[in-house]
Amino acid sequence: MNWLIYGANGYTGELIAREAARRGMRPILAGRSAERIDPLASELGLESRVFSVTHPNLHGVDLVLHCAGPFIRTAEPMVRACLDKGAHYFDITGEIDVFESILARNDEAVRRGVVLIPGVGFDVVPTDCLGAMLAKKLPDANELWLAFATSRGGISRGTKKTMIESAGDGGAIRRDGKIVRVPLLFDVRTIPFASGPRLALTIPWGDVATAYHTTGIPNVRVYNATSPETIKKLRWSSKLLPLMRIGFIKRALQKRAERHPGPSAERRAQGRTDLWGRVANAKGDEVTMTMSTPEGYTLTVLTALAAIDRLTNEQPRPGAYTPARYFGAEFITTIDGVTVT
């Protein structure tokens, strides 16, 4: 199967390209800048292509791993091109609206014989699989909470630009099957992670979209562990967040984000992510589980390549899927360095 990494010159795309080459895999490296793509491809001994996401060159390509965000701007033309060419589509998005738009194209994907799986990275493989595991343990659950805490991490310029893109929209939860917008500090509580209790707040994480498609549970919240000092700053600054919707402010902040290098190899090696999940039913029964994974960018490399390996070596099942729906709830347990309690 011939596959292509679009955005291979970005922080995460390059990490995936280097690990793929180390494993003897032969992806085509693609992006919009020849001066950034060609040297990397030459170094790794791989084919390169240069094109805009609005005019993809997918000749001879069976699968695209799309790594160039913000995906709210870039996913739709690449998905459309994949459907037109009959190429399977993966990405590493964590954006709620992108998940919803891609998962809504299931019937078209089936007709075209194409597999569409957004979110094959840290957003949202571990939380998606954790939610699916919990749903199996309490089949009549009507509420799902997921939470994560990172240590010694950091974010890339692409992640920061994506965060800026949606910062003015506030928070989001799923209530009675519908995604609803809520204030950024909608709920703040202490989460009992395996590594110890941490204060956390609800965030508009991708699982607000995907967990419902994976489990059918109609009420979903996702929490991110945050320091008390940061929560205080957010309370003070939350009234200013609507300014982030103004075009020139958003563009200026995203331009500054270009200088954000992303975590070093040392920080990635030392970092860990703790996850916690809870399901509850109408009777008050509940089940909780915890998980520990490698640092987020490292995990994205591992899960994205594992997903490609699975699709390459199995008969594809056309349609639009969440990771856990396609690969199964136990997919995350096949990744090195992951433990589940």
* CATH number assigned to the domain covering 3-122+298-328: 3.40.50.720
Supply angle C-alpha 20, 21, 25, rounded to 5: 65
Asked whether 329 and 139 are in contact (CB, 8 A), the reply is: no
Write the single-letter amino acid at 60: G
pLDDT mean over 267-276: 94
What would the DSSP string read from start to end of 198-262? EEEEE---THHHHHHHHH--SEEEEEEE--HHHHHHHHHHGGGGGGGGSHHHHHHHHHHHTT-B-
Confidence at residue 164, expressed as pLDDT on a 0 to 100 scale: 44
Confidence at residue 208, expressed as pLDDT on a 0 to 100 scale: 98
Confidence at residue 248, expressed as pLDDT on a 0 to 100 scale: 57
Q: Tell me: pLDDT of 240 over 80.
A: no
Question: What angle, rounded to 10 degrees, do the helices at 207-215 and 96-103 form?
Answer: 40
Confidence at residue 230, expressed as pLDDT on a 0 to 100 scale: 83
Residue 98 host element (H or E): helix 96-103
Sorted by where each begins, the domain ranges of the chain are 3-122+298-328, 125-295
Report the relative pairing of strands 48-50 and 171-175 from DSSP bridges: unpaired
Residue 323 host element (H or E): helix 323-327
Confidence at residue 220, expressed as pLDDT on a 0 to 100 scale: 98
* CATH number assigned to the domain covering 125-295: 3.30.360.10
pLDDT in tens, 295-330: 999 999 999 999 999 999 999 999 999 999 999 999
pLDDT in tens, 28-59: 999 999 999 999 999 999 999 999 999 999 99
Helix (H, G, I), strand (E, B) or coil at 308: helix
Per-residue confidence band for 250, with pLDDT thresholds at 50, 70 and 90: very low
Q: Tell me: pLDDT of 244 over 70.
A: no
Residue 31 host element (H or E): strand 28-31
- Predicted TM-score (pTM) of the model is 0.92
* Measured distance CA(272)–CA(293) in Å, rounded: 6
* Measured distance CA(114)–CA(315) in Å, rounded: 12
Per-residue confidence band for 237, with pLDDT thresholds at 50, 70 and 90: low
Same fold, 3-122+298-328 and 125-295: no
Tally Cβ neighbours within 10 Å of residue 112. Answer: 17
> 237: which residues sit within 8 A by CB, 6+ positions away?
none
Burial (CB count within 10 angstroms: exposed 0-12, middle 13-18, buried 19+), residue 51: middle
pLDDT in tens, 99-156: 999 999 999 999 999 999 999 999 999 999 999 999 999 999 999 999 999 976 565 5
How far separated are the first and last CA of the chain, in Å rounded? Answer: 36
Write the single-letter amino acid at 291: M
pLDDT in tens, 180-228: 999 888 999 999 999 999 999 999 999 999 999 999 999 999 999 998 8
Question: Is omega for the bond preceding 70 within 30 degrees of 0, making it cis?
Answer: yes
Q: How confident is the prediction for the chain on average, in pLDDT? A: 91
Burial (CB count within 10 angstroms: exposed 0-12, middle 13-18, buried 19+), residue 159: buried
Residue 146 host element (H or E): strand 143-151
pLDDT in tens, 66-86: 999 999 999 999 999 999 999
Tally Cβ neighbours within 10 Å of residue 70. Answer: 19
Confidence at residue 2, expressed as pLDDT on a 0 to 100 scale: 97
Confidence at residue 4, expressed as pLDDT on a 0 to 100 scale: 98
